[in-house]
Amino acid sequence: MPLDMLITDTAAIPLEDAIGTLANTGFRPAEPDSVNAAARVLRQLANNRDFLGDLILDELARRHREEADDNAYGPQAIMLGRAGRDCLLRANIWPSPDEPMMRCSGSAAFVYGLPHDHNFDFLTVGYFGPGYWSDYYEADYDTIHGYSGEKVRLRYTGRDRLDQGRLLLYRAHTDIHAQRPADGLSVSINILQTGGGQGWLDQYRYDPDRGEVAGQLAHGASEAFLRIAVGLGGDEAADLAEHFAQVHPSGRMRLHALDALASVADGDGARDAIWARAEAGGNRMVAMEAAARRRGLG
């Protein structure tokens, strides 16, 4: 279960000060002092009860006058700013079942009901509303290979809610949760750790009822670019995919490279040969996924 950060501080700071402080001090989850310092910044920002409403109103006003204005807003996430190279602030909107956006888009659009871990550490605070619920689990990440259907011992640790003012530390690869809709429209604010190599760390979705890995969630632009390049044809793209399939340090990228090659292979016989070779390639996750794909060929 995420760790409660019992930071008591009544000071309120503007968003610009929060970004500036984090840019100077950073957010290094492996260092307790850094975590506590970042949590204090988040507490002080959450004490500012006006900044987010003012920011949203300003954005709506600017978009009303200039529809082409570029921004980092979406239906659920509001990017508040990047603090240095390895840290960013974000606000998330959590609708209740009664909200029109929920009725129109469904719960899956807001990641409700999807048990998953994270490949990054982050701090979060309930800023507005009653907060979303979560069913929490833990698993031994270092023992997981990551193929679909892999048996995993998930330990259920309880159901809890991100109440307004509550501040939590979610630990990468440790805290697994399935979020449930908030009882009323809610907003949380996050401080996320980011980094250049983070995208290569695997993130999983789980099936607690079956005690299995249900699939991988972490996908980067490189995988999509490779699939497109191979699909468009060309020897160089195929050669690169072959190279990645054999020696890339990320099993996920190996699998994407193999999927790209299989997508342009001439018939099921050629695809079966690709997956048969992958089964003997030395990576457990890739081997199991390759076996499943061979079975899918009939």
**Other beta carbons less than 10 A from residue 18's beta carbon:** 24
Q: Show me where the domains of the chain are located.
A: 3-216, 221-296
Tokens at 298, concatenated: 């009939």
CATH number of the structural domain 3-216:
2.60.120.10
Per-residue confidence in pLDDT tens, the chain, 298 aa: 999 999 999 999 999 999 999 999 989 999 999 999 999 999 999 999 999 999 988 888 876 554 444 444 456 889 999 998 889 999 999 999 999 888 888 888 888 999 999 999 999 999 999 999 999 999 999 999 999 999 999 999 999 999 999 999 999 999 999 999 999 999 999 999 887 677 778 999 999 999 999 999 877 778 889 999 999 988 999 999 999 999 999 999 999 999 999 999 999 999 999 999 999 988 999 999 999 999 999 7
Quick check: helix, strand or coil at residue 261?
A: helix
Beta pairing, strands 87-94 & 122-128: unpaired
Return the half-sphere exposure (C-beta side, CA atoms, 13 A cut-off) of residue 215. Answer: 4
Q: What is each CA distance from 273 to 239, 242, 255, in whole angstroms?
A: 17, 13, 15
Residue by residue, DSSP assigns 104-161 as HH-GGGGTBT--B--SS-EEEEEEESS--EEEEEE--GGG----TT-B---EEEEEEE
Quote the pTM value.
0.88
The beta strands (E) that lie in 31-97 are given as 77-82, 87-94
Helix (H, G, I), strand (E, B) or coil at 209: coil
